[in-house]
């Protein structure tokens, strides 16, 4: 059973994502509106262990909703994976009067949140990742911005690729999850999509597709390759050698993580930030906020971490049907 909350901490952890600032702003302002104090923890769990903790007032989060990245900073922290690190983190929370914590990050960050919760700090997780790879939710903070950034970049690559009648391999982020690749595949009308979830693709088939579509008169051939498959540059060399068609690789990289969040990311992250505060105030702990079937919902962290999510086969098939 959780105790009464007087002071809430907020931290961002793992890879940054556009919209994290909107969530921080909402946590701060809703908490203050509910009569609570707010502390910002800089640089994720690493900053917690280093006691990089600042007081946050409503005005401290002015003018951040439109900014990419996270004003609190983020980090990956190995020490927090240890029992000693987690105990130290919980003690530091107590020392600073933090009795509720909002952790914005991905699955890894939820494990840290779970540890804090077990050690008596009421903790709520918010899904912050451009990868959309959190099973308990159909929405993650940052995905919408990242996929739109990638889509716009791929449109530009397509322009030059068509002009030169080339083949282009565009590598998008997603080490373990192909959601950005799949969405861009459909949104950019790509000829082929390579996803880490479908590692057993056949390169000869891709080469045959390129030759066939060139015969049908297509002036470009865009292959969206997820980071988890990788090797775009060497793949481009092999494709060029096999087809005789000039082939270029473009790796979009971290530009996909930056930039001003879309309206959707600002809106959803704001609602989720507010909900995190209200869930803590309702006496809950060890929960994560998600979005499912048009509703904001919350789950026990363990339950959320045990859920599975996979690429929708029908949507993957449609992507191929559309790429004639
Ligand atoms: P994400 O949150 O985006 O999945 P990571 O997997 O890198 O990113 O996790 C972010 C941070 O969360 C890690 O650097 C670590 O500090 C913390 N973390 C990850 N796994 C655990 C764990 N099993 N126990 C405690 N903390 C963890
Ligand atoms: O999880 C978000 C993400 O951008 C992944 O798509 C990518 O694989 C990873 O982070 C890259 O992490 P880093 O910031 O360590 O390069």
Domain-terminating residue out of 219, 240, 257: 257
- Find out whether 252 and 153 touch, Cβ atoms under 8 Å: yes
Pocket of ligand 1 (CB under 6 A): 13-15, 45, 76-77, 80-81, 105-109, 111-112, 115, 129
CATH number at residue 101: 3.40.50.450
Domain around 133: 7-142+261-306
Nearest ligand for residue 46 CA: 1
Nearest ligand for residue 106 CA: 1
Q: What CA–CA distance (Å, rounded) separates 49 from 140?
A: 26
pTM, 2 dp: 0.96
Which residue ranges in the chain fall short of pLDDT 70?
1-3
pLDDT in tens, 22-38: 999 999 999 999 999 99
Is 131 a known active-site residue?
yes
- Is 321 contained in some domain? no
Catalytic residue among 16, 99, 107, 131: 131
- Is 311 contained in some domain? no
Are both 157 and 302 inside the same structural domain? no
Nearest ligand for residue 74 CA: 1
- Is 177 contained in some domain? yes
CATH number at residue 252: 3.40.50.460
Are both 23 and 62 inside the same structural domain? yes
Are both 104 and 253 inside the same structural domain? no
Are both 278 and 206 inside the same structural domain? no
pLDDT in tens, 77-92: 999 999 999 999 999 9
Are both 189 and 251 inside the same structural domain? yes
Nearest CA to ligand 1 atom 10: 14
What does the pLDDT read at residue 1? 45
Nearest CA to ligand 1 atom 18: 108
Provide the number of structural domains found in the chain. Answer: 2
Query: What atom of ligand 1 comes closest to residue 46's alpha carbon?
Result: 16
For ligand 2, say whether the CB of 107 is within 6 Å of any of its atoms. no
> Best of 11, 12, 14 to mutate for ligand 1, by most ligand atoms within 8 A of CB?
14
Are both 107 and 30 inside the same structural domain? yes
What does the pLDDT read at residue 324? 73
- Is 107 contained in some domain? yes
What does the pLDDT read at residue 287? 98
For ligand 2, say whether the CB of 257 is within 6 Å of any of its atoms. yes
């Amino acid at each position: 059973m959780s105790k009464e909350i007087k002071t809430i901490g907020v931290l961002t952890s793992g890879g940054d994502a556009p919209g994290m600032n909107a969530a921080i702003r909402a946590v701060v302002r809703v908490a203050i509106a509910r009569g609570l104090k707010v502390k910002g923890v800089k640089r994720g769990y690493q900053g917690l262990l280093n006691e990089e903790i600042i007081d946050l007032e409503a005005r401290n989060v002015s003018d951040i909703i439109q900014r990419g990245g996270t004003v609190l900073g983020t980090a990956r922290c190995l020490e927090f994976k240890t029992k000693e690190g987690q105990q130290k983190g919980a003690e530091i929370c107590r020392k600073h009067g933090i009795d509720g914590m909002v952790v914005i990050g991905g699955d890894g960050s939820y494990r840290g949140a779970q540890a804090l919760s077990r050690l008596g700090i009421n903790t709520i997780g918010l899904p912050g990742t451009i990868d959309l790879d959190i099973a308990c939710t159909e929405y993650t903070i940052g995905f919408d911005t990242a996929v739109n950034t990638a889509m716009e970049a791929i449109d530009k690559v397509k322009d030059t690729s068509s002009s030169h009648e080339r083949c282009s391999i565009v590598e998008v982020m997603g080490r373990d999850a192909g959601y950005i690749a799949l969405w861009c595949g459909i949104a950019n009308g790509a000829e082929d999509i390579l996803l880490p979830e479908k590692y057993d693709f056949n390169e000869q088939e891709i080469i045959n597709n390129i030759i066939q579509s060139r015969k049908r008169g297509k002036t470009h051939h865009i292959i969206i390759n997820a980071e988890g498959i990788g090797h775009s540059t060497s793949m481009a060399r092999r494709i060029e050698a096999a087809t005789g068609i000039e082939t270029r690789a473009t790796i979009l990289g971290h530009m996909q993580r930056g930039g001003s969040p879309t309206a959707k990311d600002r809106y959803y992250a704001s609602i989720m930030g507010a909900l995190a505060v209200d869930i803590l105030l309702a006496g809950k702990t060890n929960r994560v906020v998600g979005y499912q079937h048009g509703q904001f919902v919350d789950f026990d962290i363990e339950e959320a971490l045990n859920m599975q999510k996979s690429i929708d086969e029908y949507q993957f098939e449609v992507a191929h049907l559309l790429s004639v």
